[in-house]
Amino acid sequence: MILTKSWLNEWIDLSDKGLKELTQALNSIGLEVDKAYHMKAPDRVVVGLVREKTKHENSEKLNITQVDVGGEILQIVCKAANVEAGQFVAVALEGARMPSGMEIQKTKLRGEDSCGMICSSAELGFAKNNEGILILDESMGELELGRALNGYELFDDAFIEVELTPNRGDCLSIYGVARDLSVVFEQNLKDKFPFKEGENVLGIGRILKLQVAKELNSLFVYRAVELKEKISTKLSSALRLAQIGLLSCDALENLLHYATHSTGVLFNAYDFDRLRKNDETATLNLTKGAHGETKILCQDKILSVSGLYQDGFARANESSKIIIIEAHYTEPSIIAASKKFHEKQDEKTFHRSFRGSEPGLTLGMDFLLGQISGSQEAVVYSSTQQVLEYKNNALIPINVKTINNTIGQAICRDEILKILKKLGFELIISNDNLINVKAPLHRSDIKNIADICEEVVRIVGIDNIDSKNLEFTEKNRLSKGYQDYKNLLTLRQRAADHGYFESLHYVLDHEKELEIFGFERVNLKLINPITAELNTLRTTLLNHLLNAASLNAKNSQKIIKLFESGMVFNAKAEELHRIAFVHSGLKEEPKISNKAKPEMVNFYDFLLDIKNIVGNFELQKSNHAFLSPYEQASVHQNGRKIGFVGRVHLGLERARDLAKSYVCELDLSALQKERKSARAYSKFPSVSRDLSILVPKNFDYETIKNRIRAFHFDILENFRLVDLYSDESLGDCYSLTINFIFKDAHKTLEEAQVNETLASIVSALEEYGLKLR
């Protein structure tokens, strides 16, 4: 978006604002300035009047002019084809230094004195507005001979190019930018009086009628103008249009472009003589297209599609006699939805309408008519034809506290309301906290409270918002169910890492087979079981696993390692989450280390697998009929029973055609995830001692373990059972060897300390009648 300070100054008083202050203000409200620089005519360039023009005797292209510069008349030889007597021109006097670096000097051209130069706009450092010299008119101000050209605002200006985000179509005009600046500078826009219609002129109803469909998504205002003579483009308009790249050879087109860039309103112009058929009136049909767009038709021909394009048929130009001018607005969302269905498109029109053109059509039309009516060459018909029924933007409920929390800084309620009101928002205040806001029609991008917050921040200024460290707080959404799932996933992965294959089965099982395991039957009976073998809810995972192991054994599998996790049911048919393991057959594959004769799986190897999968646990005596009475135990963790482990009873192994097999079933709800804790590692060496104790064969090792733990020795780091020996010489006793590890965190242990601790342990065990071997 290109604008100049003098152009802005027509809408808001910026006479006391410098270019730096202006660019800072634009940047602070989100209108990023891409370019900004001063445009000033060189010194010693003045207003002159061509008094006389004669042809140079020695050149076909040169003219000799007599130019009045307000105190003297200079003879200047000029090559421009458009120079004529009676023109006000820009004259560079002797000594003037031009933007190109050339210094003007008195010289002779083909034998004639030339005391200056009549300049073009390009030679003065401005955009090129024609193919010859710059012809001045009073659109730049009152013309005074000899007055410095840079004494006029138009030639002592500032060029500003603003980079707009796609949602800010409301600032694609001088008026739109001035509207935002009026808020930040706390100034009112300059009064723009409505167009005053002339007396004794025909009304537009004499020549134009509208047929309008219901529920259009567009707004329209129509006026009619009769051109008595060919119109021209004023200097100020031509120079500004040249700067934005929209200057054309057609004066009417220039007028429409200038009005659009000034106000943001989109215009179409139709030649009335092409619209009317046989009578003196023209009828326009405004219809709603299939995708919500509005089509303007006449004599069954499409003249234009609002916001997209105008067809060449009936397009007016500066030679037209009577012109129907159409100001139009269509909702941007409709433009976006219908664009792809129309091959014809005017890119300049679409660029504005897609982002949101100015819906204040009356403002734009009055501005355009004001430009036209200043000339004696045109007569404006009275009255208007218009379609202004349109839905308003929805109400947005806002809360001052929410706005401040979003912005991160407290802004008083009155300041927020003042900003929104200045920006054109309609405020409906119901109470001190809740306020309903209706965005102005030109801000179709405002949809929610976040957009409102952005508007407040724009005007307050992002640099005026205190910077704070980012605080990101998120509610913990990790539920117990998720943690249980992750824990189970870890167990399954560990089981797979140790060579166990996951098995999946129905929650239904064979009632008779389940009786062998001795668990309580489920009281809930299945009325219509799937099959006779699946006639009850399962009470354990082991029956399915052992059947799966049996099938694998019958298929010549020598190493069978399976696991399953899932639901089992108690007597009340309540769900219990379990995980079970089975290892049947060989301990490992045949290999060189075992001389191709691997051993069968044993209790200790199976326990090591379980430990590596679920973590540390303890074993206590158990009594399950389906397990071997010699190799079974209940599994405990942190003093709580979580399951059982053991070898399958020999009778059950034979019944299922299984080799030596071990099983384990654990309660997942009771199984605790092992917490890893770090502690300082002693740099002093540890001391290891073994005690071999004679223990009666019916004596429980748990008693020994609990008695030793009860001492809570600081230097006793760990102890474990390392050997169990029996022979005839020991009679009814076992030789139980326990290994003790001693370590001090602060010093090297002395022999006396270790012996004293061992003596205390031996003395305590002697209370149970136990002796050293």
SS3 string, 596-610, reads CCCCECCHHHHHHHH
Judge if pTM exceeds 0.85. Answer: no
Asked if 306 and 330 touch (Cβ cutoff 8 Å), the reply is yes
pLDDT of the residue at 57: 82
Beta bridge partners of 227: 378
CA distance 276 to 324: 11
Asked if 268 and 304 touch (Cβ cutoff 8 Å), the reply is yes
Taking each helix axis from N to C end, the angle separating 751-766 and 701-709, rounded to the nearest 10 degrees, works out to 130
SS3 assignment, position 446: coil
Q: How many CA atoms lie within 13 A of 543 on its CB side?
A: 22
pLDDT of the residue at 179: 92
Residues whose CB falls within 8 Å of the CB of residue 656, separated by 6 or more in sequence, listed in order? 546, 547, 549, 550, 648
Q: Which two tokens stand for residue 361?
A: 């059509």
pLDDT of the residue at 375: 62
pLDDT of the residue at 583: 97
Q: Number of H helices and number of E strands within the chain?
A: 19, 37
Residues whose CB falls within 8 Å of the CB of residue 71, separated by 6 or more in sequence, listed in order? 146
State how far the alpha carbon of 384 is from the alpha carbons of 205, 220, 299, 344, 387, in Å: 8, 10, 22, 29, 10
What torsion do the CA atoms of 15, 16, 22, 25 make, to the nearest 10 degrees? Answer: -120
pLDDT of the residue at 374: 66
CA distance 235 to 154: 10
Determine the length of the chain: 773
Q: How far apart are the first and last CA of the chain?
A: 101
Mean pLDDT for each consecutive 10-residue tract of the chain (773 residues)? 93 92 91 92 94 87 91 91 92 93 89 89 91 91 93 93 91 93 90 79 90 90 89 90 91 93 94 83 91 90 91 88 93 88 84 91 91 77 87 83 88 90 87 81 89 90 82 80 90 96 95 93 90 93 96 95 96 94 94 90 94 92 93 92 96 95 95 76 90 90 89 90 88 92 91 92 91 87
CA distance 670 to 639: 11
pLDDT of the residue at 172: 93
pLDDT of the residue at 201: 85
Nearest to 180 by CA among 426, 440, 404, 431: 440
pLDDT of the residue at 268: 94
The distance of Cα 669 from the centroid of its chain, to the nearest Å, equals 41
Residues whose CB falls within 8 Å of the CB of residue 609, separated by 6 or more in sequence, listed in order? 498, 500, 581, 583
Residues whose CB falls within 8 Å of the CB of residue 597, separated by 6 or more in sequence, listed in order? 590
